[in-house]
Copies of this chain bind each other. A is one copy, B any other.
Amino acid sequence: MDLESSKAKMNAKAETTQSSQMVFFFGPEGTDGNAAMKAILGGKGANLAEMISIGIPVPPGFTISTAVCTKFYEDGKKLPEVVWEDVLKNISRLEKSMGKKFGDPANPLLVSVRSGARASMPGMMDTILNLGLNDETAEGLAQISKNSRFAFDSYRRFIQMYSNVVMGMNSSILDITMEDIKDVKGAVNDTDLTAEDLRKLSETFKKKVFETTGKKFPTIPMDQLKGAISAVFESWNTPRAITYRKLNDIPDSWGTAVNIQAMVFGNRGDDSATGVAFTRDPSTGEKKFYGEFLINAQGEDVVAGIRTPRPVTELQKAMPAAYEELVGIYTKLEKHYRDMQDIEFTVEQNKLWMLQTRTGKRSAEAAVRIAIEMLKEKLISEEEALLRVDPYSLDQLLHPRLDPDAKRTQLAKGLPASPGAAFGQIVFTPEEAEKFAEDGKKSVLVRIETSPEDIHGMAVAQGILTTRGGMTSHAAVVARGMGKCCVAGCGDIEIDYDRETMTVRGHTLKKGDSITLDGGTGEVFLGEVKTVEPKLSADFDALMKLADKHKKLGVLTNADTPKDAATARRYGAEGIGLCRTEHMFFDSERIDVVREMIVAENTTDREKALEKLLPMQKSDFAQLFEEMAGFPVTIRLLDPPLHEFLPQSDEEIKNLATKLHIDGARLKSKVLSLHEFNPMLGHRGCRLAITFPEIYNMQSRAIAEAVVDVMKRKKLVVTPEIMIPLVGTAKELAILRKQCESEVQKVQAKSGVSFKYKIGTMIELPRAALTADEIALVADFFSFGTNDLTQTTMGLSRDDSGKFLNAYVSQGIFEKDPFVSIDQKGVGHLVKLAVDLGRKSKSDLKVGVCGEHGGDPASVEFFHRAGLDYVSCSPYRVPIARLAAAQAAVRKT
């Protein structure tokens, strides 16, 4: 019976037993659970039951269900009486199965007590081994095993674990006592202590426990068991467990199960051992048996690092028979579970026992390789292969990384705003960054925050570090778009622009000092930390090809420059979903022309300045059309408020006035008059074109002329898509569409070249979504600008929300940062509404998204379900979006 059919069969049972059965036995005599019952038995318990049912040697035991954990807390942290009665019954069953008796010095049954939640929470909760030992049973164990050393080693371990986990004693007290005794005895390893040393140690330990806690160490095994079960349930709510669940989206309500299992002993002598292993290399994905073991040790020793474990393949020499069996079992487990397994085993007197199997965690690189290789091995289907790789994790593969072996000194930690690594000399202005670049020096641009005027500096810096702003601040968004490393909102750093220094906890660095950023963790390091370049494997390409085969959504890119466009094409983008024309305005040779246009006092002057901009824009567009060679290119007309292009300081204003030959005071008053209280909600987007039609007219003409140029020169068929931002009413779009069409038609008539084009709009205001049926009548396509739609729907400024967003996420008000992953209930509701309304008016309406959410896997899945045609994201997110889109398609079917 393989896992799937076992799941199917047992699910019914799981459903019916869920409400009544609290304790589930597993052993050769009969097993109540299976792998599908993780919700009730936890991952560990479910897999132990499953392994037994497929004939793998597992010490028998029983699992107290997760439902009891809930009851435990409801009853004020008390184990319900009925459950305890069930536990006693199962102990009897276990005694029969093992032929031993709990607390019987003649032949004592010892058990382990372990937590096991539905989702793996490694190291987060507690474990007690060797439970059932007291002075008498320890003596009995020594006699039966003819191994006093083993018996008292087990005993002292039990006292250590129990006193810590159940009695709440600081574990270092007994650790220190043990070290003291090792010193006295001249012992290097624990194994150097004799049986007699260990027997005395258990006495000393018990005394220490009494001295420290004021309580006698419990000697009755049933009392020990009851205490241990309660302690495991309580460990569900330790602060570290709570934090772990928050970080990993595990609901508090799930609770943990408790597994009570007959002990087997890897510490019973040199014919015993314990180990952990993976069925494939979790770091590279290579198909080889990978793990470690220790002779004469209990499981904890391998992980604890007290002794240095040996590679698992060496077990072949040490215990050939056990190794042979282990290889057979791991192969069987991987086939059965159809995924790479992370296993724990113990050999007791040459007999192999399996203590755990679970799906192994792996690096992104390994995940890709394992998925593709298992597909080739026909172990899994294409759909499964796609689902085996976390799209988020691909980010790691696309950017340079810090060499994991390199030494480093951490200076501060901010938000991991854009992945990758960057090393360079500190500069504080974009101009300095350019100067450094001209001199062939690498720089890191350090700013309190960035603005569109900094882009030229960001483009030439190796990385960007800001002290303010969140994951979706200007710096973060632009850096991700550029595929450039960025650490944002690093509040510990104070910048003094005047002195050109940055200070972090008393340590001051000046311009020219070197730092290294890790955009994947948000860390800032002193000096240079070596990096390694990413190499995309053939497996990666195979996975992407597979994704494209299955996905329904188109994946386009947000790109403003031919370089961005080329990168995105390399990563598989099927066109440009958003080209922000304003980014072309900040170029140093253009910005003054742009400013001339803005300060113009009348339409004629404005048109004159726009005439100068036209050839520049035309050449920009032509380059993009060439680069995208026939793929759609969606160009958004001017969006930001005009004041973003003007200088703000008195000196800059004075300089500009001189350059433009106008009165300084007049320019200053123009700058002041353009000031806005809430620029996000101000005079921007299509509102600019309603008041100054000549701006969009110039841009429409530039687009049309660029199309003509490329069609003539390159014989390419170009179909531009003109996108009008910030539309709130159908009338706005109708007015601007007409103007735009008229400009394009004029160019077509004049050139004699005809081409198709689309005119569409961004849906980024709630009102646009609510009236999408009307807007669709005058739009060829919709592109959701989910950044701004999130800002307006939630009334949440992206640039200002940093001050409270953490509190909102940590208090569970927002599940995730809504600028990172779309708020499905609120913003998503409007997206769905607009898609439905839009298609009702125009069934073939093309609908996509071009906000930051286009590269977020959870959001991509949502957009797939909402019926969008495409997503558009920054170039480095294209592979993530492709995989996420494929997963969405696979999950839906």
Stretch at the interface among A96-104, A552-560, A696-704, A723-731: A723-731
Our pick among B677, B765, B807, B814 for the contact of A679 (Cβ within 8 Å) is B677
B797-A731 in contact (CB<8A):
no
The smallest C-beta distance from A771 to any residue of chain B, in angstroms, reads 6
* Chain A 659-709 residues near chain B, CB threshold 8 A: 676-683, 687, 690-691
- Give complex CA distance A825, B800 in Å: 30
Contact with B along A806-820 (1 / 0, CB 8 A): 011001111000000
A690-B804 in contact (CB<8A):
yes
Q: Judge if A55 is at the interface, Cβ distance under 8 Å.
A: no
B796-A681 in contact (CB<8A):
yes
A788-B795 in contact (CB<8A):
yes
The smallest C-beta distance from A672 to any residue of chain B, in angstroms, reads 9
Of all chain B residues, the one with the shortest Cβ separation from A767 is B826
Q: B residues within 8 A CB of A729?
A: 813-814, 826
Q: Judge if A793 is at the interface, Cβ distance under 8 Å.
A: yes
Counting chain B CB atoms within 10 Å of each CB, the highest count among A678, A683, A813, A830 belongs to A678
For this complex, into which size category does the number of interface residues on chain A fall? Answer: 35 or more
Q: Judge if A794 is at the interface, Cβ distance under 8 Å.
A: yes
Q: B residues within 8 A CB of A682?
A: 797, 800-801, 803
The smallest C-beta distance from A331 to any residue of chain B, in angstroms, reads 49
Q: B residues within 8 A CB of A799?
A: 676-678
Q: B residues within 8 A CB of A728?
A: 794-796, 826
Counting chain B CB atoms within 10 Å of each CB, the highest count among A681, A691, A792, A807 belongs to A681
A795-B767 in contact (CB<8A):
yes
* Chain A 59-113 residues near chain B, CB threshold 8 A: none
Q: Judge if A770 is at the interface, Cβ distance under 8 Å.
A: yes
- Give complex CA distance A408, B872 in Å: 63
- Give complex CA distance A800, B791 in Å: 17
Q: Judge if A823 is at the interface, Cβ distance under 8 Å.
A: yes
- Give complex CA distance A735, B812 in Å: 10
- Give complex CA distance A535, B814 in Å: 55
Of all chain B residues, the one with the shortest Cβ separation from A733 is B813
- Give complex CA distance A396, B794 in Å: 39
The smallest C-beta distance from A882 to any residue of chain B, in angstroms, reads 30
Q: Judge if A151 is at the interface, Cβ distance under 8 Å.
A: no
Q: Given contacts A765-B795, A799-B677, is CB(A690)–CB(B808) below 8 Å?
A: yes
Q: Judge if A847 is at the interface, Cβ distance under 8 Å.
A: no
Q: B residues within 8 A CB of A770?
A: 793, 825-826, 829-830
A825-B677 in contact (CB<8A):
no
Our pick among B764, B797, B804 for the contact of A795 (Cβ within 8 Å) is B764
A823-B691 in contact (CB<8A):
no
- Give complex CA distance A732, B796 in Å: 14
Q: Given contacts A729-B814, A826-B771, is CB(A797)–CB(B766) below 8 Å?
A: no
- Give complex CA distance A402, B844 in Å: 61
Of all chain B residues, the one with the shortest Cβ separation from A803 is B683
Q: B residues within 8 A CB of A731?
A: 811-813
Q: B residues within 8 A CB of A129?
A: none
B800-A679 in contact (CB<8A):
yes
B766-A792 in contact (CB<8A):
yes
Q: Judge if A39 is at the interface, Cβ distance under 8 Å.
A: no
Q: Given contacts A678-B678, A728-B795, A796-B728, is CB(A813)–CB(B690) below 8 Å?
A: yes
A797-B827 in contact (CB<8A):
no
A811-B678 in contact (CB<8A):
no
The smallest C-beta distance from A450 to any residue of chain B, in angstroms, reads 13
Q: B residues within 8 A CB of A681?
A: 678, 680-681, 791-792, 795-797, 800-801
Q: B residues within 8 A CB of A797?
A: 676-678, 680-682
* Chain A 361-401 residues near chain B, CB threshold 8 A: none
Q: B residues within 8 A CB of A825?
A: 770-771
Q: B residues within 8 A CB of A690?
A: 804, 807-808, 811, 813
Q: B residues within 8 A CB of A800?
A: 676-679, 681-683
The smallest C-beta distance from A814 to any residue of chain B, in angstroms, reads 7
Of all chain B residues, the one with the shortest Cβ separation from A788 is B795
A683-B766 in contact (CB<8A):
no
- Give complex CA distance A764, B48 in Å: 54
Contact with B along A864-875 (1 / 0, CB 8 A): 000000000000
Q: B residues within 8 A CB of A764?
A: 795
- Give complex CA distance A726, B808 in Å: 14
A691-B804 in contact (CB<8A):
yes
The smallest C-beta distance from A389 to any residue of chain B, in angstroms, reads 33
Contact with B along A177-218 (1 / 0, CB 8 A): 000000000000000000000000000000000000000000
- Give complex CA distance A735, B800 in Å: 22
Contact with B along A732-775 (1 / 0, CB 8 A): 10010000000000000000000000000000111100110000
- Give complex CA distance A792, B791 in Å: 8
The smallest C-beta distance from A111 to any residue of chain B, in angstroms, reads 42
Q: Given contacts A691-B807, A811-B735, is CB(A830)–CB(B679) below 8 Å?
A: no
The smallest C-beta distance from A165 to any residue of chain B, in angstroms, reads 34
Of all chain B residues, the one with the shortest Cβ separation from A790 is B767
Of all chain B residues, the one with the shortest Cβ separation from A764 is B795
- Give complex CA distance A680, B812 in Å: 23
- Give complex CA distance A794, B795 in Å: 11
- Give complex CA distance A690, B808 in Å: 8
The smallest C-beta distance from A490 to any residue of chain B, in angstroms, reads 14
Q: Given contacts A683-B800, A731-B812, A807-B691, is CB(A767)–CB(B823) below 8 Å?
A: yes
The smallest C-beta distance from A175 to any residue of chain B, in angstroms, reads 37
Our pick among B677, B687, B771 for the contact of A680 (Cβ within 8 Å) is B677
B765-A794 in contact (CB<8A):
yes
B792-A795 in contact (CB<8A):
yes
The smallest C-beta distance from A129 to any residue of chain B, in angstroms, reads 42
A726-B691 in contact (CB<8A):
no
- Give complex CA distance A799, B728 in Å: 18
B827-A767 in contact (CB<8A):
yes
B683-A804 in contact (CB<8A):
yes
- Give complex CA distance A639, B682 in Å: 21
Q: B residues within 8 A CB of A807?
A: 690-691
- Give complex CA distance A788, B811 in Å: 25
Q: B residues within 8 A CB of A812?
A: 731
- Give complex CA distance A797, B677 in Å: 8
Q: B residues within 8 A CB of A687?
A: 804, 808
Q: B residues within 8 A CB of A808?
A: 687, 690
The smallest C-beta distance from A491 to any residue of chain B, in angstroms, reads 10
* Chain A 817-853 residues near chain B, CB threshold 8 A: 823, 825-827, 829-830
Our pick among B726, B788, B813, B814 for the contact of A735 (Cβ within 8 Å) is B813
Q: B residues within 8 A CB of A823?
A: 767
Q: B residues within 8 A CB of A811?
A: 690, 731, 735
- Give complex CA distance A690, B809 in Å: 11
Q: B residues within 8 A CB of A735?
A: 811, 813
The smallest C-beta distance from A834 to any residue of chain B, in angstroms, reads 12
A793-B766 in contact (CB<8A):
yes
Q: B residues within 8 A CB of A788?
A: 795
The smallest C-beta distance from A636 to any residue of chain B, in angstroms, reads 16
Counting chain B CB atoms within 10 Å of each CB, the highest count among A679, A680, A770 belongs to A770
Q: B residues within 8 A CB of A766?
A: 766, 792-795, 826, 830
Q: B residues within 8 A CB of A679?
A: 677-678, 800
- Give complex CA distance A35, B691 in Å: 44
Of all chain B residues, the one with the shortest Cβ separation from A731 is B813
CB<8 Å pairs between A and B, sample of 26 = A676-B800, A677-B679, A678-B681, A678-B791, A678-B799, A678-B800, A680-B680, A681-B792, A681-B797, A682-B797, A682-B800, A682-B803, A683-B801, A683-B803, A687-B804, A687-B808, A728-B795, A729-B814, A731-B813, A766-B792, A766-B793, A766-B795, A767-B794, A771-B826, A788-B795, A792-B795
Listed in ascending order, the chain A residues whose CB lies under 8 Å from chain B are 676-683, 687, 690-691, 726, 728-729, 731-732, 735, 764-767, 770-771, 788, 791-797, 799-801, 803-804, 807-808, 811-814, 823, 825-827, 829-830
List 7 extra interface pairs beyond A731-B812, A767-B826, A788-B795, CB under 8 A: A678-B679, A681-B681, A681-B800, A683-B800, A690-B808, A766-B830, A767-B795
Instruction: Report the 6 A-B pairs with minimum CB-CB distance, sorted nearest first.
Output: A681-B797, A767-B826, A678-B797, A682-B800, A766-B766, A765-B795
